[in-house]
């Protein structure tokens, strides 16, 4: 193991060129210095697939580091945003690993493959209803008309949120997604405002479930509070997390995935002709341009990674996008191929913090693409260039995706 400070090169992930085309920089980093340093993030950047897998599986690395970004703000801004920071600190994945596992166990039965399969008719109905609303116009914005409302409605149903509140919940969730934009104080203020509004909204629903429990996730949380497993503050914080994360990931998968198909018309045509390839197409979408470009980890004790030794409290930026296109692991890594097999991507993480909703996201995307391409066989781009939200190197979210058909 070598002294990390003596050998690591520094890279700027926030230049206009890197924001526009992150893979150009990430490929160079992977070749020149597989462990790089980001001065803006104050984090070491891992770009090779084996190193990222090792980091994801390493129990000495914790996910509870999103709140560390607040330390880079002024003291006045930190004080102002303390409620947001405290709420994030109660999220699953941002508590100690043992408590994280306890919270996941509460929800496990709702996210098993068997349970997820029972939701397919609901997902089909929601998808068809959304397409019914836009079909006569001959055009839509996939992001706002399909990719977001589909998973938002599904997770809201699972939580037990009233049907009439879906648009408000979706707006709050989009604001809360800004917690990854630590450099944007305005976005963080909006995230805090929406978090506080959602907290006020949830407390009466929690009180109602104490009196009249139903078969939904909120009732499971309330029962666990009675047993002392979880506090009301944790219930509220994790409902916020589930509403936000429960549709952000799938929305990104659907929007990014359709954009990939539109940019690779041969693959779009192949999927139209062979819908049985949809599961492998979804996996290739996740590999090639998944909704999370990177995840963060922090070392709770000294660790050895990628041939270097790092002290405790070291922050790591795991460049999932780069790892999933590592040519040493994926043949023809830069080729988008929906027939690819043995797809060992890390889009949903690995180890103790593997994404709880991975099976749900896969199922929603599978149903959505089957219905979309069947109902709109002539779908085509309605844009000149992709409008990507690139404020954060963690995300790969599209702001909009206009499409047309005839």
Residue 395 pLDDT > 70? no
**Mean pLDDT across the stretch 322-338?**
98
Secondary structure tally for the chain: helices H, strands E: 19, 14
Report the distance separating Cα 109 and Cα 360, nearest Å: 12
pLDDT at residue 96, as a whole number: 63
Q: What pLDDT digit, counting tens, does each position of 252-304 carry?
A: 999 999 999 999 999 999 999 999 999 999 999 999 999 888 988 889 899 99
Using CB atoms within 10 A of its CB, is residue 50 exposed (0-12), middle (13-18) or buried (19+)? middle
In the structure encoding, which two tokens stand for residue 43, read together?
A: 């984090």
Residue of 186, 146, 189 lying closest to 170 (CA atoms): 146
Return the DSSP state at 347: T
Residue of 9, 20, 35 lying closest to 303 (CA atoms): 35
Report the distance separating Cα 64 and Cα 241, nearest Å: 14
Report the distance separating Cα 142 and Cα 68, nearest Å: 34
Residue 95: pLDDT band (50, 70, 90) is: low
In the structure encoding, which two tokens stand for residue 365, read together?
A: 């995307």
Question: In CATH, which of 1.20.1090.10, 1.10.3760.10, 1.10.630.10, 3.40.50.1370 is domain 2-404?
Answer: 1.10.630.10
pTM: 0.91
In the structure encoding, which two tokens stand for residue 312, read together?
A: 């405790």
**DSSP of 176-189, one letter per residue?**
HGGGG-TT-HHHHH
Beta strands at 295-299 and 61-62: parallel, antiparallel or unpaired: antiparallel
Asked if 179 contacts 245 with a C-beta cutoff of 8 angstroms, the reply is: no
Q: In this predicted model, which residue has the larger pLDDT, 116 or 41?
A: 116
pLDDT at residue 178, as a whole number: 74
In the structure encoding, which two tokens stand for residue 39, read together?
A: 């001065």
């Amino acid at each position: 193991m070598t002294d990390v400070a003596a050998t690591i090169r520094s890279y700027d992930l926030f230049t206009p060129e890197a924001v526009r085309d992150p893979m150009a920089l990430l490929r160079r980093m992977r070749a020149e210095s597989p462990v790089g340093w980001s001065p803006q993030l104050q984090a070491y950047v891992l770009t090779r697939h084996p190193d990222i897998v090792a980091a994801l599986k390493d129990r000495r690395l914790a996910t509870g580091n999103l709140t560390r970004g607040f330390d880079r703000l002024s003291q006045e801004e930190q004080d102002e945003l303390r409620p947001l920071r405290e709420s994030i600190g109660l999220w699953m994945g941002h508590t100690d690993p043992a408590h994280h596992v306890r919270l996941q166990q509460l929800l496990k039965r709702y996210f098993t493959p068997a349970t997820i399969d029972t939701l397919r008719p609901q997902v089909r109905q929601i998808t068809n209803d959304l397409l019914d609303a836009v079909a006569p116009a001959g055009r839509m914005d996939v992001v706002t008309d399909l990719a977001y409302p589909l998973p938002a409605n599904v997770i809201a149903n699972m939580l037990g949120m009233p049907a009439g509140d879906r648009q408000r919940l979706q707006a709050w969730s989009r604001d809360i997604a800004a917690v990854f934009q630590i450099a944007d104080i305005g976005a963080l203020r909006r995230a805090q405002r929406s978090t506080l509004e959602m907290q006020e909204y949830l407390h009466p629903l929690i009180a109602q479930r104490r009196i009249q429990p139903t078969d939904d996730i909120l009732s499971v949380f309330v029962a666990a509070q009675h047993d002392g497993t979880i506090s009301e503050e944790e219930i509220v914080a994790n409902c916020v997390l589930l509403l936000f994360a429960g549709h952000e990931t799938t929305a990104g998968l659907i929007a990014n995935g359709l954009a990939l198909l539109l940019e690779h018309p041969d693959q779009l045509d192949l999927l139209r002709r062979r819908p049985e390839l949809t599961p492998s197409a979804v996996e290739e979408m996740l590999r090639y341009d998944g909704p999370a470009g990177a995840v963060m980890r922090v070392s709770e004790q000294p660790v050895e990674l990628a041939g270097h030794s790092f002290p405790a409290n070291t922050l790591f930026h795991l460049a999932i996008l780069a790892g999933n296109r590592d040519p040493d692991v994926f043949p023809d890594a830069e080729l988008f191929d929906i027939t690819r097999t043995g797809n060992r991507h890390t889009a949903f993480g690995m180890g103790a913090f593997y994404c709880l909703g991975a099976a749900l996201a896969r199922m929603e995307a599978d149903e959505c693409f089957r219905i979309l391409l069947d109902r709109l066989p002539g779908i085509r781009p309605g844009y000149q260039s992709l409008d990507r939200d690139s404020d954060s190197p963690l995300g790969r979210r599209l702001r909009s995706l206009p499409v047309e058909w005839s």
